[in-house]
Structure formats: C-alpha cells, structure tokens
Amino acid sequence: MATRGTKSVTVSLTFRACHTCPVRILFRCLLCLLLAQALPAQSSNGYLTVGLGSRQNKLTSQAALGGEWIAGKGLGVGGEFGAVAGHDSFGFILLNGYYHLLPYSGAVRKLDPFMTAGVGAILGIFETLAMVSFGGGANYWFHRRLGLRVELRDMVAPNRNFNKQTWGFRAGLTLH
C-alpha cells in the first residue's frame, strides 16, 4: 500500500522597521496634538467627516477621522486617516499643514475657513503609494465645543503606474 506524502507550505511576513513609515509619522503627530492641549494660546480640534466624490469619473464615498493643532497666526498641523470606497477602494493616511484665514485670537468664532495641503500614503491591498493632498473648507461652530465641518479635498498619487486623482466633498462633526 502506498501512502501519500503531504506538502507543507510556510508563509511569513516580514516588516522592516522604518523611522519614516507614514503610520509612525502620523502616530507621532497625533500624539503631539494630544500633548498640545496643555499649551496656552493654542487650539486643537478633532473631526469625523463623510462624503461623496469621484475617481476616474466614477462615484466614490469617503470617510475620514482626523485632528489638527492650530498655533498662532492661523497656522496648524494635523493628521487624518480614512477610506475611499468605490470601483477600486483604498485606505489613506495624511499629514497636513493648515492655514486658517481668520487666525485664532482666543475668542471662538462662528465661522472658521481654512486651506490645507499635505502628504500621505494610499494604503492598497497589495501596495502603499505616496500621495499629495490639498483642499479647503470651513468649520461652523454652533456650540463652544461642537461644530459642523465642510471641506473639498483632492488627493493625487503621482506614480508612473498609478497617476490617479480622487476628489471629494465631505461634511461632518468637529469637536474643539
């Protein structure tokens, strides 16, 4: 009687430690945002947005969770992570610079328009690609610590195999 041999397959995933990994950079920035609450004359907020957009002339839905720290003169830094769902879905993380057109003066303003630009990564199933992001929007504070955020964002991955543009209109809540 002959016995059948079995084959064994071993799969291992190895991740190289990287100090410039986008996830580590975003984590460090978000940690700085949390620690910045103790500094005087500073402001920070977090937000959750959802919306619709387009990628390759096809409808997409988008969601993002993020935060920003605003220093004096209206300048700020922030990070966010989110997802774009549609024909080809992906996740993303961003590190953004912000400029608030009406600088923070200690008093809460009802309308807070801003511009933003930054760098990040598209997190696909099989690869991670660098991208740039830019846009603008406004926070409308209807309560001292709670507001509505609306924004238009454009994300571009300038890669020879993946030169795609994704834009979206998003709205959601922001917390001071």
95: in domain: yes
SS (H, E, C) 28-75: HHHHHHHHHHHCCCCEEEEEEEEEEEEECCEEEEEEEEEEEEECHHHE
Q: For position 73, which CATH number holds? A: 2.40.160.20
pLDDT in tens, 59-96: 999 999 999 998 878 899 999 999 999 878 899 999 99
When pLDDT is cut at 50, 70 and 90, the band that residue 174 belongs to is very high
152: in domain: yes
User: How many angstroms separate the CA atoms of 4 and 2, rounded?
Assistant: 7
98: in domain: yes
The one-letter amino acid code at 56 reads Q
- Phi and psi angles of residue 5, each rounded to the nearest 5 degrees, phi first: -85, 150
2: in domain: no
70: in domain: yes
Stated pTM of the model: 0.73
11: in domain: no
Domain that holds residue 67: 43-175
17: in domain: no
When pLDDT is cut at 50, 70 and 90, the band that residue 102 belongs to is confident
The one-letter amino acid code at 128 reads T
Q: Classify burial at 112, counting beta carbons within 10 Å of its beta carbon; exposed 0-12, middle 13-18, buried 19 or more.
A: buried
48: in domain: yes
- Mean of the per-residue pLDDT values of the chain: 79
pLDDT in tens, 112-124: 999 999 999 989 8
Average pLDDT (139-166) is 85
Inform me whether the pLDDT recorded for 138 exceeds 80. yes
User: How many angstroms separate the CA atoms of 46 and 78, rounded?
Assistant: 9
- Domain count within the chain: 1
Q: Classify burial at 76, counting beta carbons within 10 Å of its beta carbon; exposed 0-12, middle 13-18, buried 19 or more.
A: buried
**pLDDT at position 137:** 97
User: How many angstroms separate the CA atoms of 85 and 59, rounded?
Assistant: 9
Inform me whether the pLDDT recorded for 152 exceeds 60. yes
Inform me whether the pLDDT recorded for 146 exceeds 80. yes
Inform me whether the pLDDT recorded for 25 exceeds 70. no
When pLDDT is cut at 50, 70 and 90, the band that residue 175 belongs to is very high
Interacting residues of 154 by C-beta distance below 8 A, sequence separation 6+? 133, 134, 135, 165, 166, 167
